[in-house]
Each structure stands twice: as C-alpha cells, then as structure tokens.
Amino acid sequence: MMNRQGNVAAHMLAKWGDIPMDYNDHIDNSDEDHSYDVENDEYDDEELYDLAVAGCHVAVTYYMKYIDKQPCRDSEQTGYIWLMDCLTGNETKCYEMFRMKPHVFLQLCNVLQHTYGLQHTRHIRLEESVGICLMILGQGACYRMVQERFQHSGETIHRHFHRVLKRLNMMSMDIFKPSDPTFSVVPRHIQKNSLYMPHFQDCIGAIDGTHIQVVVGDDKKAAYYNRKGVTSFNVMAACDFDLLFTFVMAGWEGAAHDTRIFLDAIRRQSVNFPKPPPGKYYLVDAGYPLRKGYLPPYKGQRYHLSDFQRAGRGNHIEERFNYVHSSLRSAIERTFGVWKNKWKILKQMPPYDIKHQRNIIVATCVLHNFIRKHDREDEGFNWDEHDLDRPRSNRSGEGSSRQANVENIQDEEMKFVRDKIARSIGGL
C-alpha cells in the first residue's frame, strides 16, 4: 500500500515540476493601486515544495480511499460461506457463535423477513445480516472482530446490525405479552408444586427491576449513576413462571427509584403493561407498595432464600409466608440470570447513542423469549428449569434503588389476601 502511495505521489510531484515556481509570474501588476513587496510575500522554492507535498498527500489519500480502493477483507471464505458452515455443521458451533441452535436461527430469519420486513440487500442476504447482529449481541463482539469474521467493512457491519436491531424492537410489541391474556388458567409451575398450590393459585407472575450498565456523556452521568456508582439503566420487567418476559420497560436512569418506575408503568397506558384482572396479582418485593393486584412480602421478617437456608424456614407465620413468596418470586431472578448470561453485550455495553443502548436491551429480551418459545431444550435455561428454589444470584452493578415512601398506600384488600395466604400455608 505504501509503495503504491509513493508511486502516485512521485508522479504528481513530477507533474509539479512543470508549474512555474516564480510566484511573481502570477501577480497582476496592471493595477498601480496594488503593489506587492516581493521580499515579504514571495514563497521560496522550499516552501512551495512543502505545500506541494502536503497537497499530494491529501490527493493520494483521497485517491487510495475512494477511487483505487484495495479490499482489506480479502479472505476466500466469505461471511456467508462461514455462516452456512455454522448452520449446516455441528449445531454446537452455531450455538456458541449465535447463542441459539440452527433451527431457531432460521425460524428467526423467517419471522423477521415475513412479519417485520427484513429483506436481502444487493450484496448481503438477510441470514448474514441476522448473523452479524447476533454475534455482536451474543459475543459482545466489537465491530473489528465482526468485520474480519464476515469480511465486510465497518460501515456495512454497522448498517446491518442496526437494520436487524430495529426489527427486533418492532417484534417486542408482539412477544412481550402473557401467553394467556385473560389469566384464567393457573400456571403449571404452581399447579404441580404443593408448596405453592393452592395458596398462590391466583398469582400470574413476578415483577422486579435490574440494572444494566450503560455509557453516557459526562453531562448526563449524574442521572444515570446507581447506588453502586455505576451508570446504568434501571430496567423494570415482569415475567411468568415459564421464564418468559411479559413486560419490559428499559430506559429509566439508574438513579430512578424502582417504585417510581413501577407506578409509571402501571399508570401510563402507552406502555401496555399487562395489568392483573380482579382477583389476580403479581408478586413484588418489599420495595414496592402494597397495592391491589401486587403482593409484596411482610416487612421486618426474613425474606431471601439464602437467609432461610442458613437458619431454617422459620416458625413465625409471616416468615413462612415470606419463604414461599421468595421461592415463587425467584422466577424473575432466574429470568434475569438466564438473559444476562446469554447476551454478553449486556456486561459491557458499547458507547452507542443512549437510544441504541436501550434498543439493545429490548432486543436481547426479545431474543430471550423467542428462543424460549422455539427451543424448550435450550441449555441456557436448563440450569434453573426445575430448581427455582436455589439462592438468588447476585445482580452485578445494580445497587437497587428502592423508595418505599414514594406512595405510602396500604391496600386493605391485598393485606387481607396476604394474611389469608399466610394462614393457609400453615405448618410448612
């Protein structure tokens, strides 16, 4: 490359030799009102030569970059060939690269094409576009690594990543919803477990918040610092007991209190929060208010499963209620755990525009649900498929920001429901 640049520059400098070097030759002396001091204004040959070299450098750079471009990604194995090898070879390779098995990958491509309008481009098939996006999300891979793997320029990688990201966010409106919108059927996870049935037969899911680290400008950091001193989004989500997200609201600053976000979600119609019908409720933790349709544990008593594992389940009726409540509500902790473990980009968010960072969070939640719906054997979910009673995992970087006094309202009906369940649990 440097030899080619040198040859072009030498040719241009040779041409420069034909240009008159005497600046005075170009001065128009016909106007007597204008006189020039030749000693002060004349460029000597050395100065003109330096200008010529600088001009040649600019011209050569432009020529090499935009006119006589040499491909940097020149491997014989194109990105599409490599992708097809992943999809048709051992499924482990596809799973490791794209965080899903080949049949799920192809189903995703089909849905994105026929439902959300993702199409082939002149040079890249949509399967390759999807592969680019999944590799960035699943591996947390930088553009340079993906450029080398798919043999495309950084601009091409960027464009196709965001094309797919946009469609995944469009899909969120259809995939974040209860499998049974009427909540008329008792969840299977509750039905089959005597620890929960019949005490929690009217429970429809669990709600919690989690923090995802984000990159923001210095002028915005104060609003995004959570209680651990990390800039983050405070993401509120609801899930069912099949570990599917039924609601996701990303975008609130890390400094925002969980209760404030919760109240905004249940009051603002535009976010389409799936509200519980009469007689049904979500489980929430002690940081949320006791409101109709939302059941927290008793305050002032042990709650987290790890506390009970160290000292037994407890004898007090409120502690026994808290134990079962914590065990059932751990579904949301498990859902967060599976989601964060699969999509590595969530551990170190790239410095995109804040809107794109939010879109990445939503897109990975969409993919979480899509995989769960289309592959019940996905190993990413197996670690907690039948073990929701294990101690809850640490939620790195969260610094949970609770504010119990945002709305200090105790709903009498839910207090009655909680006391009734506590009594029914009896001598567990």
Average pLDDT, the chain: 84
Separation CA 372–CA 338 (nearest Å) = 11
175, 207, 223 — which closes off a domain? 175
Q: Are residues 298 and 344 in the same domain?
A: yes
Asked whether the predicted pLDDT for residue 167 surpasses 60, the reply is yes
| pLDDT on residue 382 | 81
Question: Using one digit for the tens of pLDDT, what is the confidence trace for 238-277?
Answer: 999 999 999 999 999 999 999 999 999 999 999 999 999 9
Considering the domain architecture, whether residues 374 and 307 belong to the same structural domain is answered as yes
Rounded to whole angstroms, the Cα distance separating 122 from 118 reads: 13
- Percent of the residues in the chain that have a pLDDT greater than 70, as a whole number: 74
> Residue 238's pLDDT is what?
99
Look at residue 13 and tell me if it is in a domain: yes
158 and 283 in a single domain? The answer is no
In DSSP terms, which residues pair with 235 in a beta bridge? 210
pLDDT reading at 293 higher than 90: yes
Residue 297: inside a domain: yes
- Do 287 and 407 reside in the same domain of the chain? yes
Based on the domain organization, do 211 and 334 belong to the same domain?
Answer: yes
C-beta of residue 265 within 8 angstroms of C-beta of residue 245: no
Three-class SS state of 249: strand
β 203-213/294-295 pair status:
unpaired
Residue 250 in contact with residue 388, Cβ under 8 Å?
Answer: no
243 alpha-carbon distance from chain centroid: 18
| Residue among 383, 389, 386 at smallest CA distance from 308 | 389
Q: Are residues 120 and 242 in the same domain?
A: no
Shortest CA distance to 152 belongs to which of 124, 118, 121, 122? 124
Distance CA 210, CA 234 (A): 6
Same domain? For 155 and 114 the reply is yes
Residue 360 DSSP SS3: helix
Q: How many domains does the chain have?
A: 3
pLDDT number for residue 51? 75
Rounded distance, CA 43 to CA 306, Å?
A: 82
Same domain, 18 and 155: no
> Is 74 within a domain?
no
Q: Is residue 351 part of a domain?
A: yes
Residues 91 and 153 in one domain: yes
Indicate if 221 and 350 belong to the same structural domain: yes
Q: Collapsing DSSP states into helix, strand and coil, what is residue 114?
A: helix
> CA angle, 204 as apex, 116 and 419 as ends, to 5°?
160
Contacts of 10 (CB under 8 A, 6+ apart): none
pLDDT tens-digit map of 181-236 = 999 999 999 999 999 999 999 999 999 999 999 999 999 999 999 999 999 999 99
* Predicted confidence (pLDDT) per residue in 128-163, tens digit: 999 999 999 999 999 999 999 999 999 999 999 999
- Helix (H) / strand (E) containing 207: strand 203-213
Does 86 share its domain with 165? yes
Residue 328 lies in a domain: yes
Give percent helix, percent strand, percent coil of the chain, each to the nearest 5.
Answer: 50, 10, 40
Q: Which of 141, 175, 209 is at the close of a domain?
A: 175
Asked if the structure places residue 73 within a domain, the reply is: no
Q: Are strands 281-283 and 294-295 parallel, antiparallel or unpaired?
A: parallel
Question: Taking a C-beta distance cutoff of 8 angstroms, is the pair 178, 274 a contact?
Answer: yes
Whether 318 and 308 have beta carbons less than 8 Å apart is answered as: no
Q: Is the domain of 83 the same as that of 62? A: no
Decide if pLDDT at 19 tops 60.
no
Which range marks the domain in which residue 140 is found?
79-175
Cα-trace Rg, the chain: 31
Q: Among candidates 388, 375, 384, 369, which has minimal Cα distance to 248?
A: 369
Determine which of 62-76, 93-107, 294-308 has the lowest per-residue pLDDT on average.
62-76
Structure tokens at 15: 């041409």
pLDDT tens, position by position, 336-368? 999 999 999 999 999 999 999 999 999 999 999
**Position 388 confidence tier, pLDDT thresholds 50, 70, 90:** very low
* Residue among 342, 338, 341, 325 nearest 389 (CA): 325
291 within some domain: yes
Distance between CA atoms of 226 and 234, rounded to whole angstroms?
8
Average pLDDT score over residue span 75-82: 81
8 Å CB contact between 118 and 126 = yes
Q: What integer pLDDT is reported at residue 316 of this predicted model? A: 85
Strands of 298-393 (E only): list them: none
> Residue 115 falls within a domain, yes or no?
yes
